[in-house]
Amino acid sequence: MLNQLVRFSLTQRLFVCVLAALVVGLGVRAWILLPVDAYPDISPTQVKVILKVPGMTAEEIEQRVTYPVETELLGIPRQAMLRSTTKYAITAITLDFIEGTDIYWARQQVNERLGGLLNDLPFAVDGGLAPMSTPLGEMFMFTVENDELSLMEKRRLLEWEIRPALRTVDGVADVNVLGGYARTFQVTPRTAELSALGLSMADIESAIVGQNMNAGTGRILLGNDVLVVRVEGRIASLQSLGDVVVRAGPQGVYRLRDVADVEIGHLARYGAVTRNGEEAVQGLVIALRDSNTGAVVAGVKERLAELENTLPPGTQINVFYDRARLISTAIGTMSNALFQAIVLVVAVLAIFLGNFRAALVVSLSLPLAALSTFLLMSATQLTANLMSLGGLVIAIGMLVDASVVVVENTVTRLADNRGLPRLHLIYRAVREVALPVVSGTLIVIIVFSPLLTLSGLEGKLFTPVALTIVYAMIAALLMALTVIPVMASLLLGNKAIAMPRFMQRMQQHYAALLARVLTRPRWLLLAVLGLLALSALLLTLIGKIFMPVLDEGDVIVQLEKSPSISLEASVELDKQIEIALLEAIPEIRQIVSRTGSDELGLDPMSLNETDIFMELAPRDTWRMDSKDELENAVRDVVSRFPGINIGFTQPIQMRASEMLTGSSGDVTIKLFGEELAQVAELMPRIARIARDVPGAVDVQASVTEGGKFLNVRVQPELAAAHGLSASGLADYLKTQIEGTTISEVREGRQRIPLTLASGSTSIAAPATVPELEQRTVVLPDGELATLAAIADISYAEGPSVIERERGSRFGIITLNVEGRDVVGLVEELRGILARDLPLPSGYRLEYGGEFENQQRATRNLLLVVPVALVLITIILFATFRSLALAGIILGNTPFALMGGVIALFVSGEYLSVPASVGLIALLGIAVLNGVMMVSYFQQHWHMSAPLSERIVNGATQRLRPVLMTATTAIFGLLPLVFATGPGAEVQRPLAIVVVGGLLTSTVTTLFLLPVFYQYWGRRQHE
C-alpha cells in the first residue's frame, strides 16, 4: 500500500501539487478561524446550583436547604463529585460529572431534580442553576467611571444600559454586576401611625401590591371598531407610590405617605468593590462554555465602543482585565518559538545536508505539516492555545525526521544513478525507507499515546499536546511519502552531493573513537553506569510539582479578615491596603478589590473575604526582574497590615483551583468531621504545625466558627392572643432589619425593587440587642408591643460557613509552597501530623490541591508508560524479529534519560508533568535513533568483515542521520528553553529535559549501543 501511495504521488505530480496547495490554503484558513484561548478548556462537566435564602444562618440553610438538595442530587447518575459551601443567606452546590458527560444532559438532570424539590421547601428560596460557564469564563472585567455620577447611578447605568447590551454579544453567558447600590423605592412604615389607624404591615403590603398593576379587562365595541379597556394602577414614581390609599372611610382618606416614609433607598448589600481606595462599580463578563474567547472579547469591546456615545458625558469604561491580552502574549510566545524553531531547523538541515536544494525540500515538510495540523485541529475542534501550539513546537524537531530520511536516501540513489529513469530512482529510494519511516513515526505516536490517557487537569492540559504531536507526525509522514518525493523530483539535481567536509572529519574521528571504545568498552560502561547512578541520585533530589504556574501577567491577593466583620469595616481595610500598595509599588497600574458576594452568587464570598486584583504595568518598566520579586514586594506591604490572612493567586489560577479542588492553594488539607466545633478547634492546630514545615507559606486555616446569632423566640401565649405567628414575626423583623421586596416599579426598561424597609441608612436598623428588644412591633390585631414583650431574645453561636463534600462536613487549611517541592512538603507534613496530632475517631485528613493532581498524574503515568513500553517492544520485535535486539534498544533508553534528569537538576526546574512528558518524548527519540543504528548494523550483518569493523562502518554511516535527528530536535526546542514570555514556563521544563536528554542519548546511541550490539553479535557468532 505504501508503495502504491508513493507511486501514485510520483505519477500524479500535478495532482499532488494542487492537493498540497489546497492543504496550504485550507490550513491557513483553519489557523485564522481556530478558536484561540490561553489554556485548553480544563473544566470538567460541572453544574453549579446557587440558592439564596435571605436572612438564614449557615447551619439552618445547611439543614433545611443544602442537605435536602444534596440528597436529591446525589441520585443523579454519572456524577464524580458533589460539593457544597453554605454561608449566611446562600448555598452553592457544585456537581462534577465524569468525563465526557454532556453538559446539557447534566444540567437537565439537575434542573429536573431541583424543580421538584424547590417547590416543596417550606420557605422562599431564590436562585437555581448558575450560568453555563467555566471557571475560565471570567474573561473581561471593567469598572464604570464618572466623577459626576453617584455609586447608585453608576450601578444603574451598568445594570440597565451596559449589561443588557453586552448580554446580546454572541458567546456571553452573563454579565455580573458588583459593587455600588441597587436602587429601590423604599417604604418605611411608621409603626405608631399604623397602630393609630389599626393597620398592620400586611395591610400596607396588600395596598401597594394591589395598586401596582395594570390589568387588561377586554374590548368594547365602538361602532365598527373595538377599543381595548384596561385598568391602570402601576406605580411609576415616588409621588404615585406615596399617593397609594391605605385606608379610606368616614374619617378621611389615608395615603401611604401619611403612615410611612416613602423614599429612594437601596437593597441590602452583600458585597462591594473598591478601586484605588474608592468604592466603585464593576462589570464582569462571563463567557459561555465552549465559546471562542478571543471572538467574545472582541465582540464585547465592539459593543462597548458602540455604547460609549450613548452613555452620560464623562463616562468611561475602565478595563482592568482583558483575557485577550493574556491570549495574545501567550500565543505570541508560542508563535515566536514556532517561527524560531523552523528557522533553526532549516539552518541545521542546510548545514548537515550541505545542499541548499535538499534542505529546501526537507524544510517544505515543516509548513505543510504545521498547516495540516491546524486543519486537523479545526476538524477535531481543538483550540489554539498554549498547550496545543506547544505540542507543535515540540514536534518540529521530529517532523523533519521522516523527510530527512526520504531526501537523504533519494539524494544517495540519484547520485548512484544506474541508468534508470529519474522518477523510478526516486520511487525506489522512497520505497526502501518507507517502512522504517512509518514504524519510526508509529513509535513516536505510541510514545506520546500515554498522554491521551491522562485524566483530570493534566489530562485536559496534555491531551491537546499529544493530539497535536500525533496530528503533526501523521501529517509529516504523509508529506514525506507524497509531497516530498514530488518536490525532490522537481528540485533536486542529478549530481552526487558530497558530504560536507566537517561531517567527513567528524566521521573519521568518530570511527577512530568508536573502534577504540569497542576494543576497551569497560571504561565507557563504568562512566555511563556512574552517570546513571548519579542521575538516579539527582532524581530523588529534584523537587516534584504538578505543573509550573502559568504567569498570567496579573496578581490577585486574597485577604481573609475576621469572620464577623461588617461590609463597611471590611471595605475600609481594603482601601487602606490599596492605597499603601499603590504608594509603595509603582509597578501596579491600578487595583480593583472585590469584597463579599457577587450579584449572581457565582462566587459566594463572605464579607470578610476580599480578592485584590492588580493590573500591572508593562514588564520592561519594572524595577524588579521577576514576578516573584514583585509578589514579595506586595507581600511586604500587605504584611504590614496584621490581623489579615493573605494569599496570592492569579485570575485563571484562582478559578481553576476552586473548580478542581473547591479551594485555592498549592496544598489543601481537608479535615472531615461532623462536629464543626471540634473541626474548628483542630484546624488552627494543624495550621500551626504546617507553618513550621520549611517551604510552607501563606498557611491559612479557613474560619468556620464565629457565626453569632440572636435567637428570637415568640412567646406562644401572647402571640396566640394577638394572632402572631413565628413566620409573621420573622417577616416583620426582616422588614425592620434588612428589608423585604414586595413588588417592583418599572421605569422604562428598568425594574426597580419596591421594598418595605426600616430606612435607607444603616443607623435606622436596630444596632444593639436592647434596641432590638425595645423595637415596636405592630401586631396583626393592630396592637403595639415591644419585641421583648412578645418574644424571648437570646444569643446563639454557630458556624459562619459550612463546607461539605459528598455529604460530609469538613474544614480546610490551604498553603502555598515556596522554595521546595510540593510532594516532599506534603509527605513531611503528613508524617508530623500523624505523629503529633492524633485525631478523634470519625475524623480524618485528606490532602489535596496541586498535590492531589501530582499524585494522580504520577499514578496514571506509572500505569500507562509500561503499557507503551510493551507496545514499543512489540514493534521492535516485529522490525528485528529478535527480542534481544529489541532489548538492546530499550536497554539504551535509561542511559538516554539521564541527560534529561541532569539538565533538570542543573536548570533548577522541578519534576513536573511537562518534565515527565519531556522524558517520554526522549524515550521516543532514543528508541528511534536506536532503531536507525541497529537496522543499519543488521543490514551489514552478512558482510565478510570482522564484527567490530562492520559495527564501526555501520555506525559511521549513521552518524549524520543520528546527529541530524538530535540537532534538529535540540534546535527545535531551544526557543522554548529560552522563551521568557507568559506561557513559556509551562513548556520550558519539557524542552530542558528533551535538550539535555538528547545530548546524552546521542552519545549513548553512538557509543553505548554499538558496544551492546558487539556483545550480542559475539554471542551470535559463538
- Which residues are near other proteins by CB under 8 A? 192-193, 560-566, 569-570, 572-573, 576, 580, 637, 639-646, 684, 691, 697-699, 703, 706, 708, 763, 767-771, 774-776, 783-786, 788-790, 795, 797
d(CA 92, CA 90): 7
Closest CA to 408 of 1017, 988, 962: 962
Minimum CB distance to other proteins smaller for 253 or for 769:
769
- Report in angstroms how near the CB of residue 460 gets to other proteins at its nearest: 32
Integer-rounded Cα radius of gyration of the chain: 36
Q: How far is the CB of 568 from other proteins (least distance, A)?
A: 8
Measured from the CB atom, the residue of 361 and 719 that comes closer to other proteins is 719
Q: Please, which residue, 557 or 897, has the CB nearer to other proteins?
A: 557
Q: Rounded distance, CA 76 to CA 113, Å? A: 8
- Among residues 37 and 705, whose Cβ is nearest to other proteins? 705
Please identify, using beta-carbon distances, which residue of 580 and 869 lies nearer to other proteins.
580
CB of 789 vs other proteins, minimal distance in Å: 4
**What is the spatial distance between Cα 982 and Cα 627, in angstroms, rounded to a whole number?**
11
Grid cell digits, residue 597: 458576594
Closer to other proteins at the Cβ: 628 or 846? 628
**Contact at 8 Å (CB) between 566 and 765?**
no
CB of 782 to other proteins, least distance (A): 11
Q: Classify 415 in phi/psi space as left (phi over 0), alpha (psi -120 to 50) or beta.
A: alpha
Based on CB atoms, which residue is closest to other proteins, 800 or 912? 800
Helices (H), 940-983: 947-978
Of how many residues is the chain composed? 1022
Cβ nearer to other proteins, comparing 575 with 655? 575
CB 377 within 8 A of CB 34: yes
What gap in Å lies between CA 369 and CA 627, rounded to an integer?
36
Give the residue from 86, 172, 180, 81 showing the smallest Cα distance to 125.
86
- Cα separation of 842 and 855, whole Å? 25
Contact 273, 179 (CB under 8 A): yes
Supply the minimum distance, in Å, between the C-beta of residue 196 and other proteins.
8
CB 988 within 8 A of CB 979: yes
- Burial class from Cβ neighbours inside 10 Å (0-12, 13-18, 19+) for residue 251 reads exposed
Nearer to other proteins, 462 or 648 (CB): 648
C-alpha cell at 851: 498535590
**Cell (9 digits) for 172:** 456571553
How near is the Cβ of 665 to other proteins at its closest, in Å?
Answer: 13
In whole angstroms, how close is the CB of 738 to other proteins at the nearest point? 17
Q: Smallest distance, Å, CB 274 to other proteins? A: 15
Q: How far is CA 328 from the centre of its chain?
A: 17
Residue 26 CA, chain-centre distance (Å), reads 30
At 9, is the secondary structure helix, strand, or coil?
helix
Nearest to 550 by CA among 469, 466, 615, 461: 461
Helix/strand/coil (H/E/C) assignment for every residue in 471-491: HHHHHHHHHHHCHHHHHHHHH
C-alpha separations of 488 from 309, 401, 1022 in Å: 60, 15, 45
Q: Which of 704, 671, 684 is nearest to 800 (CA)?
A: 704
Choice between 220 and 710, CB closer to other proteins: 710
Q: List residues bridging with 911 in a β-sheet.
A: 544
Residue number, 196 or 231, with CB nearest to other proteins: 196
Q: What SS3 class is residue 768?
A: coil
Angle formed at CA 298 by CA 292 and CA 300, multiple of 5 degrees: 100
Give the three-class secondary structure for 418. Answer: coil
Q: How far is the CB of 719 from other proteins (least distance, A)?
A: 13
For other proteins, the closer CB: 9 or 570: 570
What is the Cα–Cα distance from 176 to 170, expressed in whole angstroms?
A: 16
To the nearest whole angstrom, how small is the minimum distance from the Cβ of residue 259 to other proteins?
A: 12
Rounded to whole angstroms, the Cα distance separating 849 from 638 reads 24
Please name the residues in contact with 301: beta carbons below 8 A apart, sequence gap of 6 or more: none
Closer to other proteins by Cβ: residue 514 or 683: 683
Query: Among the residues of 34-120, which ranges form H helices?
Result: 58-61, 67-73, 103-118
What is the residue type of 748? G
Closest distance between other proteins and the C-beta of residue 610, in Å?
12
CB of 736 to other proteins, least distance (A): 11
771 within 8 A of 758, measured Cβ to Cβ: no
For residue 530, give Cα distances in angstroms to 418, 524, 526: 50, 10, 6
Q: Taking Cα atoms as reference points, which of 86, 47, 80, 90 lies closest to residue 810?
A: 86
CB of 691 to other proteins, least distance (A): 8
Closest approach of other proteins to the CB of residue 765, in Å? 10
Question: Closest separation between CB of residue 908 and other proteins, Å?
Answer: 25
Smallest gap from Cβ 787 to other proteins, in A, equals 10
Judged by beta carbon, residue 641 or residue 847, the one nearer other proteins is 641
In angstroms, what is the minimal distance from the CB of 875 to other proteins? 54
CB of 376 or CB of 605, closer to other proteins: 605
Residue 767 vs 906, nearer CB to other proteins: 767
Burial (CB < 10 A; 0-12, 13-18, 19+), residue 442, is middle
Q: Which is nearer to other proteins, 13 or 247 (CB)?
A: 247
Q: State how far the Cα of 819 lies from the Cα of 969, in Å rounded to an integer.
A: 31
Q: How far is the CB of 829 from other proteins (least distance, A)?
A: 17
Q: How far is CA 856 from CA 187, 266, 462, 657, in A?
A: 57, 49, 14, 15
Our CB check for other proteins shows the closer of 196 and 420 to be: 196
